[in-house]
Structure 1
Amino acid sequence: MRPAATIAAAIATMTASLSVVPLFDSGRWILPTALAIVLMAVAGAASRAVALPAPLQPVLQLLALLTLLTVMFAQPAAAWGFLPGPVALAELQDLTRIGLAEAEVALAPVPTTETLVLLSVGGIGLVALTVDTIGVTLRLPALAGIPLLLVFALPAAVVRGGVPWWLLPLAVIGWLLLLAADARDDARAWGPLLTRRPGAQAGPRAHPRMPRPRASAGAAALQVGLVAVVVALLLPTAIPGLSEPVWVSPSGDRPGIGGDGPVSVDPFASLRRDLVDNPEREVLRYRTTAPSPGYLRLVALDTFDGVTWRPSEAPIRVPVTEPLGPPDLAGVADIGESTWDVRISDLDNAQLPVPYAGSVITPAGEALDERWTWDPQARTVGGVGVSSRDAAYAVAAYDIDPTRAELRAATKRAPDSLLPYLQLPDTLSPTLATLADEVTAGAQTPYARARALVDWFTDDGGFSYSTNVVTPPGADPLESFLEERIGYCQQFAGTMALMARAVGIPSRVVVGFTGGRLTDDGEYVVQARNAHAWPELWFAGIGWVWFEPTPRIGAGVVQPDYSRDRVDSDTPEAPVPDEVPQPQAPDVAAPVAGAGPGGPPTLLIVAALAGLAVLVTLPMIIVAWRRRRRTSRTDARVRIEATWRDLGDSVTDFGWAWSRAQTPREAANSLGRQVTLGESERAAMRRLVWWIEQVRYAPPTMEFIAPSPAELRADLAVLRRAADRAAVRSRRVRARLAPASLWGGGLSESSLEGARPTAGV
């Protein structure tokens, strides 16, 4: 039953699962997940108590886990109210698909929805099952650290601010408890330790009172493990370039949203995070001479691949210290100029927020890093390896506020250089183009078509703003948005840009901030809630003009004068914050969302790591399970013969000569000439030779005291370590990852049964 090791395996899984805490916005997942871990421990202990065959023990645990998931998440569909029948399993499958779709685009901390809690309970439950199987059933506690490491690696990879520093040593301590419990069970299998006796005695009774190396191995493993924890915590501070651990520092000053760190607007990921995580956090302040300040732009996304919007590579970059000329404004009569004094606080980005159309940037105080450059076509400022945090600068910009008449007159066809801004992917649903034609039917000019689209999104089309949107599994996100007609800024901006392209208007999507809140002293305050996305459309002689299709009031979202039904006063109402949106379940794939360039989805990385771990550990698990099964045979003679054959397999795996044609003493002497054996190893060899000789040569009617399975495994382990220690490194690696005995050189199970072996076999 091994209660100590079972409890230690459960504790190890629980300590490792604490690293998942930063992934959720509340702790409602903890209790059901802990219940799953306890259930796996109880099911494993019960299966071992009734001596269920090892391959069937994880099957029983899996059935227990499915029953728990059914009761928690699919109880109405359960057979007899609790059993996981076909209907309940189908329900769990659907919920899992929805949860995986949410996890694919959600950014930590995610809302504690039913489907994401299901993933937590089921996923960590499977980890608990795996740890119990490897560490307790198969007696391989060191390998049980691999699934525990994967549990820690997932949040460490996806949480932008990292995970608290103390979670890693806590997880390692849980694993060390499992190692200690396994060593304790090994020591107790030999009974109480009595006075040391010489190991040269012959016969099976010579060894029960001998000191066992495994009894002290657990203490050594604990010492090494504790030293490793200390080194892992202190080493980054001693090596240049590793001044911070891979997890977040206690002060929480790593880049990213969440905790006490700075806000980061990631244009390649969901902006909903910036709307619900720390929405009150101030990111910048500015003063401007512009009479009607618009939005501050971070990046322009001009390429749509059928799923996400991305920025194209700028053909030319201009140093930020050099001025940009004015855009083509032949069709605009009134062009003003304004200055913007910007002071950034908690905004950690590789782009600087600037108005359209900025022309000159002057640093305030310290000079801007020379790695900051203009994209002259998009009129955005970015860099590689830079951070906008605490930057201060002044921007001189051209104020472009075209009139309705000027926009109506902009009917000239776009030049060939703008053809990329009209491209639509072949995989795009034809529904969008058909709908765009219907919405703009009767509109004779590009401006009229743009206004028709804005009016349709904000009024006529019945759309509403919400962050609580979930695309059904397998459905097209764009079609789902157009059908359900509910979403948030990314979806409105991306869809309007696509519909504009469908009716012949060049377009792109811009990510940045709305104007913020005007204070009494004339300064604008921009908070995380002001993160926004909107479309820009191109008009001949005017250039790029922004529109606002998102039907949302507050947080600085405003309509430009040329997009309103009537001409308002020269000074628009000061933007004011709305109610803080509450964290809701994310949509499956917003049109603007993406994984970012060079960043494969985290789930794929974790799946690849898990697959690699399985490939690496599977041979070791199979060999260990086979060895344990052989040495646990009920028939003592078969058990001894199997141990001797397993010794031959192991010696061969490590590259040493071993012939089954030799007698046991000849084989033992041959191994002794190849491998230096210590006193304890020679004693173990003498015991095995004595036992195998009794089985092979003694009369069948002769009685002898047979060794227990634990005794046989211990002696076999001592000799395996000796062969391992003496082998070259390549052989040792091969013996673990691709042992020859596993691929055809081993002993078949059927050959252990039947007639009693004869000498020389």
Structure 2
Amino acid sequence: MTAAPEQGARAVLGSVLCVLATWASLLALTGLVAGARWFAVAAVAVLVVAAATGLARAATRRWWAPTAVGGAVALVGLVLRYGAPPGRPQFLPDLDALGRAWATARQGVAVVNDSFVPMPDVRPGEMLLVVGAVAVYLLLDAAVLALRFPALGGIPLLALWVPAIVLGFPAGAAPVFWTAAAYLAILAYGAAPLHAHAGRLQRVVAAAVAAAALAGTSLLAGPPLMDAPGWASVALPTFGDGPVGPLELSDDLDLRESLGTRSAQVVLRYRVTDPNQPEESATDTEEGAEDDPVDTAAGTEADLAAATPTPDPTPAVDARLVGPLRAFTMATFDGRLWERAENDELELWEPATLLASDPRLLGTPPDPAAGTLAQVDIEVAALRERRLPVSTFPRTVVVDGEWGYDPLRDEVVGQRSTGDGLTYSMLVQVPALTSEDLEDTGVGTPADAELYTAVPDTEHRDRIAELAAEVTADAAGPYDQALELQTWLRSVANFTYDTRVPPARSSDAVWDFLEDRRGYCVQFATAMAMMARTLDIPSRIGVGFLPGERAQDGTYVVTGRLAHAWPELYFDGLGWVRFEPTPASQSGPPPAWADPFTGISAPGSIPDEIGANPPAALPSSVPTAPAVGPAVVPDEQSPWVTAAVTSGLVLVVVGGALVVLLLVRRRRRRVTTPEDAWTVLRRDLARADVRWSDATSPRGAVRQVHRTLLARTGAELDGSARQTLDRLARVVEQSRYAPTPAEHPADELDAWVQEVRDGVREALARGADRAPVTAG
């Protein structure tokens, strides 16, 4: 016989506990969805539905009635909120409103499918989250109050945690604590007798003793647990942090920390002009650029130049040319943590002479013949930093106050921190550095060379060195080695950009990153720097800010979200040279000298389309969402797939499961891309015993195919199959490097794979026919 549903004041208490438990479980999704509006809307929706179920429970003793009423109220509320005509509210649901709500949810499905974590906090996605929250509450309410089986309530609460667990984005300790506490409160509520006055003192004493025992155990067990490697990832983040108050970059970068909260505060504003251009012309140029819809953000012109060849050899004087603004460099790494020691021996300088790590340029006046000159005027906003953000290239610096120069680290260091309103200017000398210059250059010897070549003596040091050697096996010199490392790390087929740090598995954070294949800019930069050191290439990392977004008045705006780290390698006669191993979706294109795609156009692609609408360089210190496939359009233009909302009572319960399935599907979906085609080709050729390793770049794979065929048949791949293999390799490189690579239909990619596969098989067959027959 089924127990009678709860009634009276006890039912009210149970409803309150169910609401609090649902709110606590919603916190599990804070790591998956950006912003906080969705949480507020979902919390209010749960509260409204809870009030409806409570009123229904007070009016009837039928166990199913409150759930039915709550589901009906939720359905009506969803239709009225998400199905209202654009620009005005709707007070009564109708078929048109139902159709618009249907369309909104369909768009929410597209947002979930096309977003990277964290998903943007947009209205269509919010609708799915509200459906899931209401569904969880109704299931929990039915288990606790209707069926009086509180233990079952853990299942819907767990449903909200499944997406974060499956995708590897846990929300942190606080949501776990509050969810567990709410669930324990529900269990205690279900276990308490209907008349619980007897023995109250004994229960209070028992609860106090249990709480004291738990607290004591935590104090004793906490320190040794925190020393274990697996707990290192819960340390407080400092890199690029500062959502409240001024921002300060951390001197000690821990590879076991996540980036935590990213600051949207403006830290710098600056303007880049051509000192050789008259002021009036420069103004006209900026105004014309503002009218140009293509050039709307930092790096736009250079992104276009990086994706397509240009006949103009003179680079545009803009933020992309000046590059990131570096605050400081780091050289000492212990296997987990970058550390630095302050240098008290600072030098004064003449404002009209260059500051540079190259002794040949230090103290000399800017020379237009030695590179392109760019005037940069900067105003500091919410940045409190003792090191002045300056260009990585040689530059003059004019700034008020007590500032000194550290030539060893190439830093401008002040006695006090920067403050809001501080202004300074630079005349940057950008050398015309090309890949050809680096190909003919050997490794240099910087001052304190041992500092920049030291590799921490960890348990996986030799394995990191072996992996670096494997990745660069086809490289002809130090520049080619650096380029192979960068290409391998930037490949989305090899690594995933992720600000959440997986638990430590060893004492070597670099090896853990290379094993997990997930990390953020500090980890990508550190991995390349350490792997370069195993190849005897001096390296360090720079910390600063990406160029920023261009405002309407022509200035560039840098926020805390653009905090970034990158590796710098030392070459003879050229000094420290910047590379960019962090994936393009987060850091934008690499420097021109480190971009193998520079000057290459994939056959069949239209150069104008490649750069027709390039995005700004995205911050590497924050997870970002790509452009959602379908644009957010008026509700009338999209349909909906969530049958739970349209069918009402059957229902609402399915909402939580829908969110889980959609997020898992986003994780596992497989789209036909050049990377997919490359993977299929590699698998098919492996069946013919034509193989290459994970560390081989596309160009290296092409060479490996030719070498294998030459060894087995006496001839390389030829004809159209050879041209198609080269074409596919270039397209794969474009997909890895170009900010907006050309799109290729799936049929075209399949045809390329089939043509190369058939060509290799024919070559092998011809080689077998020509093989001499020997007597047995």
Superposed pair shares fold, TM > 0.5: no
Q: If the length of structure 1 is used for normalisation, what is the TM-score?
A: 0.42
**Higher RCO (CA < 8 A, seq sep 6+):** 2
When Rg is computed on C-alpha atoms for both structures, the one with the higher figure is 1
